[in-house]
């Protein structure tokens, strides 16, 4: 995998661990997500799917 510029979430605590990080893939239109405690466990999504998830979370539209 090419070098990726990972960014921490603005909601991360700032200390070691407990950070969600994301990176955009240069060759495709995907976003990669990882937990800083497990940097090898990477989830892949599209910008639209991530935006839909964030809107649903902010609106409280997720059921348990």
Residue 1: the pLDDT is 55
Closest to 31 in 3D by CA, of 14, 52, 11, 6: 6
List the pLDDT tens digit at each of the 64 positions of the chain.
568 888 887 766 666 666 889 999 877 789 999 988 888 999 999 999 999 998 998 999 887 6
Residue 14: the pLDDT is 60
Residue 45: the pLDDT is 94
For 11-60, give the secondary structure using H, E and C. CCCCCCCCCEEEEECCCCCCEEEEECCEEEEEEEECHHHHHHHHHHHHHC
The domain segmentation of the chain, as residue ranges, is 7-59
The residue whose two tokens read 């809107």 is 55
Residue 46: the pLDDT is 93
The residue whose two tokens read 């090898």 is 40
Residue 29: the pLDDT is 86
């Amino acid at each position: 995998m090419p070098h990726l510029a990972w960014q921490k979430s603005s909601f991360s605590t700032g200390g070691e661990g407990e950070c969600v990080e994301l990176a955009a893939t240069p060759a495709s239109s995907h976003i990669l997500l990882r937990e800083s405690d497990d940097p090898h466990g990477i989830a892949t999504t599209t910008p639209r799917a991530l935006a839909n998830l964030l809107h649903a979370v902010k609106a409280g539209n997720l059921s348990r």
